[in-house]
Amino acid sequence: MCEQIYQNPPATIAIDGPAASGKSTIGNLLANKLGYISLDTGIMYRAVAYKAIQAKVDVYDGEAVSDLAERIQIDIRPSTAGDGCQFDVIIDGEDHTWDIRSPEVNQVVSEVSVYPRVRNAMTELQRKIAKNGRIVMIGRDIGTVVLPLAEMKIYLEASVEVRAQRRYIEELARGKKVCLDEIAESLRHRDEIDSGRAVAPLRPAEDAIVLNTDDMTVYEVVEYLMGLIARR
């Protein structure tokens, strides 16, 4: 089976889906099995949102946020901290790997990501990164906008209840005090914004493999996708 997998793997794999659908974990594991790099593009929008908060830019001021997005320097490097993150996220020369995952950023990242100039700036950077292939790119518009010619497109979906429970367990494991109902409401809010935005709305590409993961473990999903790759 391993020989089949590595004979003709897709050069570019796009993984899309709503927040907390398991995209990042599954994408990272898939990339590791294939010997590819993985990139969670949501990191870039989080970086913009974090920088806007720190600079006291009104996140509802599209022009100001867009100006910031076109100036920001984002460098994503292999993790050096051994803290569970696959990447270090360097924003304008400083490490903000964990800062971009704060509740404050969670609350505004979807708002920030709706602005066309923000998306254009991030999309241009993402396409440059993907040019050399051998990449699993993770996001919400990878198969539809960023890499419409990706050789394999995957769309992961799960109910809000399941996604909220997963996020709740993750946050508790990090020692945070969180409320399951608040997490669920936050996910619903993000889903509405991501699916309803005029530019690059969240939806499966027409040729995507759509997979509901409600009743699947992360490893079951990865093995299923590796099986699809092996049968290409």
In this structure, the strands spanning 135-139 and 94-95 are unpaired
- The answer to whether residue 230 sits within a structural domain is no
What's the order of all strands across the beta sheet hosting 135-139?
37-40, 135-139, 12-16, 152-157, 209-212
User: pTM of the full predicted structure?
Assistant: 0.82
- The answer to whether residue 55 sits within a structural domain is yes
- The answer to whether residue 231 sits within a structural domain is no
- The answer to whether residue 168 sits within a structural domain is yes
Which CATH number goes with the domain that contains 54?
Answer: 3.40.50.300
Task: Say if residue 3's pLDDT is above 50.
Answer: no
pLDDT in tens, 155-191: 999 999 999 999 999 889 988 889 999 999 999 998 9
pLDDT in tens, 25-72: 999 999 999 999 899 999 999 999 999 999 999 999 999 999 999 999
Tally of CB atoms within 10 A around 56: 6
The Cα 125–Cα 137 span in angstroms is 12
- The answer to whether residue 62 sits within a structural domain is yes
Which range marks the domain in which residue 183 is found? 10-219
The alpha carbon of 117 is separated from its chain's Cα centroid by a whole number of angstroms, namely 19
Question: Residue 16 to residues 4, 62, 70, 114, 185: CA-CA distances in angstroms?
Answer: 25, 25, 24, 16, 21
